[in-house]
Structure 1
Amino acid sequence: MVSMEPVGTASLISLLAHFFGIKSKRKGLSFEEKRTRLADFFYETKDFWLLKDIEKIASKQKGIVVQSIKEVLESLVSDNIVTVEKIGTSNYYWSFPSTAVQNRKRRIAELGEELANVEAKRQELDSALAQRKNGREETEERIALMERLKEAEAINRNLLAELETFKDSDPVLVAAKENAIVLAKNAVNRWTENIFALQSYCSQTFGIPPQQFAEQFNIPDDFDSV
């Protein structure tokens, strides 16, 4: 009797597929592969095509799924690889090898122009940067001037601090304080007179003695105008 080794699941599936002639699915084409194949279709046929014919024939010849033909074709038109022209009521598509070469040359020229513009801009920025740096070299004279500037800034800070200490002697501030004192004194006397008037009113109207009124509202004995 022949001994049987245990077979893994993957090996068993592979064995059954081989036995029954089942072919594994091929990996689908990438979008870029579809673009390349569809472009080759135009280069090889060198003819003018309607969309419906492209979907019918190119899908079979190049193995591209019919549903994706239109999207791939539009991307080729957008990149100027395939030309489209409306003739009557129909759109015709074509692309010849010579057209592809011309498109590549034009694209190379465009990229070259963009590169030249970028390089010119870079040189302009380098020149501007060099000009701004000019005169800022760390020479002995510049170092000495920077030191003098720092000293002047320090002296300025010290003078401002010293000036702050004399603020109380400023005639303008003194006059403002005196005016504020007068206003405060007048306000105190005005409220004092109001309290005395209220005390007199309560005494005459309700018969409340002045002493009782003062005790009720915590008014000190020496309460008077200033």
Structure 2
Amino acid sequence: MSKRKTVSADEKRERMLQIFHEKKDFFQLKDLEKIAPKEKQIVVQSVKDVVQALVDDGLVDTDKIGSSIYFWAFPSKAKAAKIANLNNAKAKLEEYKRKLDENLDFLKRERIGKEDSNERTDLLKKLKVLQDEKSKLDMEVNKYKDLNADDFEKMLKNIDIAKEAGNRWTDNIYSVKSWCRKKFFIEDSMMNKQFGISEDLDYID
């Protein structure tokens, strides 16, 4: 006799959402404990935990009416939530790109008429890493056009990585300015004007 295939936690969540989206109705927990095992192969013992996890994530609504607790979730809400999250992710990515472009412009100007140095070589290596991360982010944005939930989670993680990388690059800019200030006694305002550095250059929140 073949072993019964184990259903992962993510698959249980997806199947439970399917029940709500397909039936478009209101349910008590006892109703879901009858439907889920029969139609979606979710063991009855895990139904309560799966539903609660969906409620905690804002994917399923719940309310108490009299002495009974009801649960519901309609496809329109899930789609709206995904679109809102996608727009937020895109806005963060655009802000990161803007900061990155400013830093790239600074590096290009900083190289004009100067001999290569160990500091500049190190910065260029870091720049290459940052550009590679940006390319990966662009690819993730393209993958997310269909609002796939798994791709969206990966996108959020990559945005955090990119934000950290952008802040590291901002650290590099400040380090270069500090080095020039100590070695050549150049004020920050003059360096900003000379190399076209924005006065409001700051870390990404």
With normalisation by structure 1, the TM-score equals 0.44
Specify the structure having the higher radius of gyration (Cα).
1
Q: TM-score, normalised by structure 2?
A: 0.48
